[in-house]
Structure 1
Amino acid sequence: MAPTITALQYYGPKDVRLEQVPSRSCRPDEVRVQIAYCGICGSDIHEYLGGPIFSPPAGEKNPWTGERLPITLGHEMSGTIVEVGPSVSDPKLKIGARVAVNPAWNDRHHGVDPCTACSLGMPNICKRYASYGLSAAGGGLASEIVVKHFACIPLPDSVSLKVGALMEPLAVAWHCIRISGFKEGQTALILGAGPIGLAILMLLRVWGAKRVVISELTASRKQMAKDLGASLVVDPTESVTPKNGIDPVVEATQAAVQADGVDVAFDCTGLQTTLDTVLAAVRPGGTIFNVAIHEKPLVLNLNDVTLTEKRLTGGICYTDIDFRGLIQALESGDVPAESLITSVAKLEDVIEKGLLELIRNKAAHVKILIQPNQVRLAKL
């Protein structure tokens, strides 16, 4: 009988099943990774509740990878290499090596000439972008995965496998800070203390931020933002009555940084109200950086940008540069990454204690990690 692995299979909205699926062979340029931990991302929740979004539509295949539903979910993963393809020559990628996985696919994975984005050093926005755990073969919510060898990021001894599973969202935060143009000694505002917002806060300390203000509604996340060193945490629903029509978050932010606004504002929420806030909270010539993925278009008067020479930009995913910078920061010991983990569950409980727990009790969690173990089959 052909070998099988246990994996969480996504068939469509509200249809995920923990099943035995065939184990993939390890090609010459690939490695097999036994999954230690895999984080559940907001993208996974969106796929479950209303997708497919990033996954191929029902009855269709991804045009670049050929993958069809069902696919194995999970793209925030770490583990141990248990098999190495014969053409893999990197001495760091050997059996027993601890690694995180960069799940993003680009033209290098497809073996084709680089597109414009890839040739410009931006493979994160490759025209043929795909991802393990969403649109390419295999995912982290499984007992193992086979990946291209260059997708593996060796973990230093000082970085745990739990933190390794946080590398992907942390790299998103690092990338956003890096391409925002943030400089040491500057000030920042973060709208939303979810996993990425808190990661940005945590990493801004490494980047030498002078002051960081966070706007957040949820009590537990407000407390975590305080614990992670936010200069001020503002609840927009509890703020004082605005003076002269000024947004209370803007007013509190200006008072905290003692200026007409922050140097950089990161919108991690993606609402009309938060867009309006960051536009007003950034100083003249400052930067508004969009982190969020929006469910619907927002309204923007470009005069608000033009007449104050503010810069509006955004970013997504990460590149190898971001992972390298992040590794150095984690090795320094100045990034309390494990504090983002609010729960760890076994793979056999991924549905009830993972996906549904985040849906039902979102305010109680930042990051839930799933740890593969001996499992029973389940369906939802």
Structure 2
Amino acid sequence: MTRDTMLALRLHGRQDIRLDTVPIPDCLSDQVRVRVAYCGICGSDIHECQAGPILAPQPQETNPHSGAKLPVILGHEISGTVVEVGADVEGIRIGQKVVVNPLLADPQIQAAACTSCLRGRFNTCKRATYYGINAPGGGFSGEISVNAANIVPVPDNVSLRAAALAEPLAVACHMIERSGFAAGDNILILGAGPIGLGLLILLRSKGAKKILISEVSDLRIDQAKRLGADIVINPVQESQVSDPVLRAVHELTDEGVDIAFDASGLQATLDTAIASVRPGGTIFNVAIHEKPLSLNLNALSLQEKHLTGGICYLRKDFEEVLSLQSSGRLPAEEMITSVVPLSNIIEGGFQELIVNKTKHVKMLIQPDI
């Protein structure tokens, strides 16, 4: 590498990721260039590698909204330091600690606002793209140039290591708001991966009464206990009971939990979530499903249960989780189980997570110095 180039992990096609030497990106007049400190590996990165391109551009095609085409740099859970500010940008300074909101909606691409954007629901924009997935630039690199509106300042007392969790925590924060949660609610979370544990610590900070977690990984069970879950159940180890999660729910509550968050995306977890919720309660889907699931609508209608879901986040979700981290009310850094150098991301990152997923919660990638 030279002073004008950097190492970057790029998706070239299905099951084809490579560490390439690429030019350091230019910083346009409305952009900010960020030196990446950390970037988390998300499940969607693994899916794009193994089964994609899914959201990433298809071979020989260009994304019509972002202009991105294969190969694309992956990585969207980004924290770093500003190293260059475009001529038209105000309010951002060189040396500032920041995270990147990866979402590009109509306002960022100067398009006429769609119905979602007119309503402030930029996360459901019909032209939405994301840095590190299907827009130019990603966090598995040394530097990234992004639209200034996608920069979120990090409080002085929050480390860049902890700030790298802002993106998955913003997902969890958005889901909680969408679910109708109120302080004093009883909660079931199915799955204690990064989003499930993010839900746990955020719900605890927001005043949940009792939180039950269902998880099969020993490491994640231990994490859930340390992070404040009232009851943690391994449904596989307790399989002699017809449904150990349901039994625990009904031992703890009169008629069921107020909200069940399904962060696993399996038929079994959806069925358990529906059965665990009280009449009038909410089943909230957090997971992205690889295949369609079956649904007994009578189980919802006859007890007026609500089934809904959400996607991603808004800027305010990033600001809220960073504020909570700054206040000391969000022990998010405990979710980090390993940090891997960018030069080892293929074997020590992607391949390790594919083979040993349950031995990790959140893995961060750090560019080589």
Aligned-partner residue type, residue 247 of structure 2: E
What does residue 10 of structure 2 align with? Answer: 9
Aligned-partner residue type, residue 372 of structure 1: P
What does residue 61 of structure 2 align with? Answer: 60
Give the Å deviation of 1:121.
1.3
Task: Note the 1:1-380 alignment, pairs <5 A.
Answer: 3-90=4-91, 93-239=92-238, 241-242=240-241, 247-256=243-252, 258-374=253-369
Gaps of 5+ in 2: none
Structure 2 CA distance for aligned equivalents of residues 345 and 297 of structure 1: 34
Structure 2 CA distance for aligned equivalents of residues 177 and 29 of structure 1: 33
Give the Å deviation of 1:337.
0.7
- Do the aligned residues in 1 keep the contact of 2:163 with 2:322 (CA within 8 Å)? no
The CA RMSD over aligned residues, in Å, is 1.3
- Do the aligned residues in 1 keep the contact of 2:25 with 2:143 (CA within 8 Å)? no
Aligned-partner residue type, residue 254 of structure 1: H
Q: TM-score, normalised by structure 2?
A: 0.97
- Do the aligned residues in 1 keep the contact of 2:155 with 2:323 (CA within 8 Å)? no
Structure 2 CA distance for aligned equivalents of residues 167 and 251 of structure 1: 34
Give the number of aligned pairs. Answer: 368
Q: What's the CA shift string for 1:273-298, capped at 9, x where partnerless?
A: 11100000000000000000001111
- Do the aligned residues in 2 keep the contact of 1:106 with 1:126 (CA within 8 Å)? yes
Q: TM-score, normalised by structure 1?
A: 0.95
Give the Å deviation of 1:311.
0.7
Identity over aligned pairs, percent? 53
Give the Å deviation of 1:235.
1.1
Structure 1 CA distance for aligned equivalents of residues 319 and 213 of structure 2: 27
Deviating more after overlay: 37-46 vs 15-24: 15-24
Aligned-partner residue type, residue 227 of structure 1: R
Q: What's the CA shift string for 1:239-267, capped at 9, x where partnerless?
A: 2644xxx63211111212x2210000000
Gaps of 5+ in 1: 375-380
- Do the aligned residues in 2 keep the contact of 1:239 with 1:249 (CA within 8 Å)? no
Give the Å deviation of 1:323.
1.6
